A and B are shown apart, each in its own frame.
Chain A
Amino acid sequence: MSVLHRTEWRAVGTTCAAAVTAHSNDERGAMRALGAAQEEVAACERELSRFDPASDLSRLNAAGGRWTPVGPRLLEALGLALRAREESAGRFDPTVLPALVAAGYDRSFELLEEREARWADDWRAGTAIELDPRNGRARLEAGSSVDLGGIGKGYAAGRALDSMLASSPALAGGIVDLGGDIAVRGESPEGGPWLVAVADPRRTGETLAVLALDGGGIATSGRDARRFGPARSLHHLIDPETGESALAGPLTVTVVAPDAAAAEVHATTLAIAGLGEAEAHVSATPRISAVYVPQIGPAVPLGRLPLVTERLVVRAA
């Protein structure tokens, strides 16, 4: 008989959860797996966080254009981010950090104070990032700095899931949820796929749809949360073309992709895209689908969503 073992903890600035499907007599294996997930998330945070001055990313950002020794996770995440920048023609860009900091998002979200926004005058997109995996080091263009907020939690969720299931191969499946960036694989305790509810951004506690997955990742991005600045007029989604909070884009967008890092990258990209641009992006990208919630109007399904319900929930106006 399969049972669910679950744990919840605080890390990467949010609430994290991990769960596994284990045989009822394999509690020890389940506990070992959940521990492995927490350790991997902590290891990712030590390398990828920009709020920990001792992290590999903080050291790289402060290096002023010099080669800096960094860990394998940061090297891999930077490689994925660079590939995403190339594939999105610059719509996803990990070098928007100077613009984000100039706008006032210079510390963990919980610590932000209300102050006037200042957009970065001399900021430009697409600055160089050089990777040297053989020698375990990286280098940024002088004056540039990197934020992995658009990929880091999805990347960490995927790695935590890998660690979890590798530590106890007898487990039938698992799920790792880092504040809504979710990686899943295998069976749920009920014997079918894992079920992930898509939250309705306009109605707390209600859902727009339930998705069923036996592998892959889900991530949501949007301007419904993490607003800051005067009268909460700013949001964290910086348009690489302008260096300012993006005007176009949905209230939220949830993306299903083959892995959690890819889901977060595409969610970040679609979060600054109008509906037409988002439709074209999903059509042109194999194996992703999305729930696009416009700033005004009902949610729109894009691509072949693995819906449990036959359609998105629609409500009377």
Chain B
Amino acid sequence: MQRVWVVVLSVWAMLAIVAVLAWSPRPAAPLPAGSAQTVVVRGRGGKQRLVVVKAPAHATTATSAAVH
């Protein structure tokens, strides 16, 4: 009988985890395959440096002119 309860509780725990994951907030957009990657580099004084090494963007922002 104890084994049955263990199985039932395990199933419920698994369902709870699946439900939590399903309801968690998702990122605004999915990460496309082969998009930007980052590498962490140690800078001077041991400071962390995060660098985008590949960013195949379709457009790049620039400062908007006040007038055209």
Asked whether B57 lies within 8 Å of A195 as measured between CB atoms, the reply is yes
Determine the chain A residues whose CB is within 8 A of the CB of B47 once the complex forms: 316-317
A267→B64 contact, CB < 8 A: yes
Say yes or no: A314 contacts B48, CB within 8 Å. Answer: yes
Name the CB-closest residue of A to B38: A309
- Name the contact of B52 in the complex, choosing from A188, A207, A212, A218 (C-beta under 8 A): A207
Asked if B68 and A153 sit within 8 Å, CB to CB, the answer is yes
A13 near B65 (CB under 8 angstroms)? yes
Whether the Cβ atoms of B68 and A49 lie closer than 8 Å is: yes
With an 8 A cutoff between CB atoms, is A175 at the interface? yes
- Chain A: interface residue count, which band? 35 or more
Contact of B61 among A108, A109, A254, A309 (CB under 8 A): A254
The smallest C-beta distance from A255 to any residue of chain B, in angstroms, reads: 10
Task: Indicate whether A308 reaches chain B with its CB closer than 8 angstroms.
Answer: yes
Q: Is the CB of A179 within 8 A of B36?
A: no
In the complex, identify which listed stretch (A121-129, A136-144, A220-228) lies at the interface while the others stay far away.
A220-228
Q: How far is the CA of A207 from the CA of B57 in the complex (A)?
A: 10
Chain B interface, number of residues (Cβ within 8 angstroms) = 34
Q: How far is the CB of B4 from chain A (nearest CB, A)?
A: 44
**Across the interface, which residues of A come within 8 angstroms of B61, CB to CB?**
180, 182, 196-199, 218-220, 254
Tell yes or no: B6 within 8 A of A by CB: no
Q: Is A159 an interface residue (CB 8 A)?
A: no
Residues of B within 8 A of A317 (CB): 47
CA A27 – CA B29 in complex, angstroms? 28
Given contacts A212-B29, A214-B29, contact A252 B36 (CB under 8 A): no
In angstroms, Cα B47 to Cα A210, docked, is 23
Which residue of chain B has its CB nearest to the CB of A267?
B64
- Which of B48, B58, B66, B67 has a CB less than 8 Å from the CB of A196? B58
A194's closest neighbor in chain B, by CB? B58
Chain B stretch 12-47: residues in CB contact (< 8 A) with chain A: 27-36, 38, 43-45, 47
| A residues less than 8 Å from B57 (CB atoms) | 195-197, 207, 210
B7 at the interface (CB under 8 A from A): no
* A195 touching B58, Cβ below 8 Å: yes
Closest A residue to B41 using CB positions? A316
A190 near B32 with CB under 8 A, answer yes
Chain B residues lying within 8 Å of A48, measured Cβ to Cβ, are 68
By a CB distance below 8 angstroms, the chain A residues around B55 are: 195, 197, 207, 210
> Once the chains are docked, how many angstroms separate the CA of A314 from the CA of B41?
11
**A236 near B66: Cβ-Cβ < 8 Å:** yes
Q: Report the Cα distance A196→B27, complex, angstroms.
A: 16
User: CB of B59 within 8 A of chain A?
Assistant: yes
From B28, B51, B63, give the contact of A226 (CB < 8 A): B63
A175 to B45, CA, bound (A): 42
Residues of chain A with a CB closer than 8 A to B58's CB: 4, 19, 175, 188, 194-196
Residue B2 CB within 8 A of the other chain: no
Q: List the A side residues contacting B67 at CB < 8 Å.
A: 13, 50-51, 100, 105, 108-109, 147-149, 152, 236
Q: Are B66 and A222 in contact (CB under 8 A)?
A: no
- A133 in the interface, Cβ–Cβ < 8 Å? no
A306-B27, A309-B38, A311-B50 in contact; A192/B63 too (CB < 8 A)? no
Query: Which residues on B are within 8 Å of A, measured CB to CB?
Result: 27-36, 38, 43-45, 47-52, 55-68
13 contacts between A and B (CB under 8 A): A14-B68, A45-B68, A149-B68, A196-B58, A201-B63, A210-B52, A213-B29, A218-B61, A236-B65, A305-B28, A308-B35, A315-B51, A316-B43
| 9 A-B pairs closest in CB distance | A316-B43, A180-B62, A236-B66, A192-B32, A212-B29, A306-B28, A197-B57, A149-B67, A12-B68
